[in-house]
Amino acid sequence: MTDEQLDRLAARIITKMIRLKSAEDWFKHVNKSDKAWKVLEDIDIDEEAFAYGELARLMTLMDIFKNDEAYEKCAIVKNRINETKKIIKKYNK
């Protein structure tokens, strides 16, 4: 690879890094704004969509508790998962 090719490659890498950093800064800024969180509160989510979100959250907790060997917590979360699946099931008929 010639010096000129290396310079072009380095310039492309730097450009991509700057774009990624800019996107990251933008996301942090937007994420911290009160307006961004207010929009989430105003979104009308139906029971089915809420249940899918709850199921994802519970499954994540289950994985964490399994890794920590907190089996009593796993049992509690498993019961909540079963209840959440019942809600989802009534929409999938």
Q: How many structural domains are present in the chain?
A: 2
Give me the domain span that covers residue 74: 44-93
Query: Does one domain contain both 33 and 52?
Result: no
Query: Does one domain contain both 26 and 38?
Result: yes
| C-alpha to C-alpha distance for 39 and 20, rounded to whole angstroms | 25
Query: Does one domain contain both 77 and 89?
Result: yes
Give the relative orientation of helices 34-42 and 3-32 as an angle to the nearest 10 degrees.
60
Give the DSSP per-residue string, 19-81: HHHHHHHHHHHHHH-HHHHHHHHH----HHHHHHHHHHHHHHHHHHHHHTT-HHHHHHHHHHH
Length of the chain: 93
Note the pTM of the prediction, 2 decimals. 0.55
Per the structure block, which two tokens stand in for 37?
């969180």
Query: Does one domain contain both 50 and 32?
Result: no
Residue 22: the pLDDT is: 81
Q: What is the pLDDT of residues 39-89, one digit of tens each?
A: 556 677 788 998 999 999 999 999 999 999 999 999 999 999 999 999 999
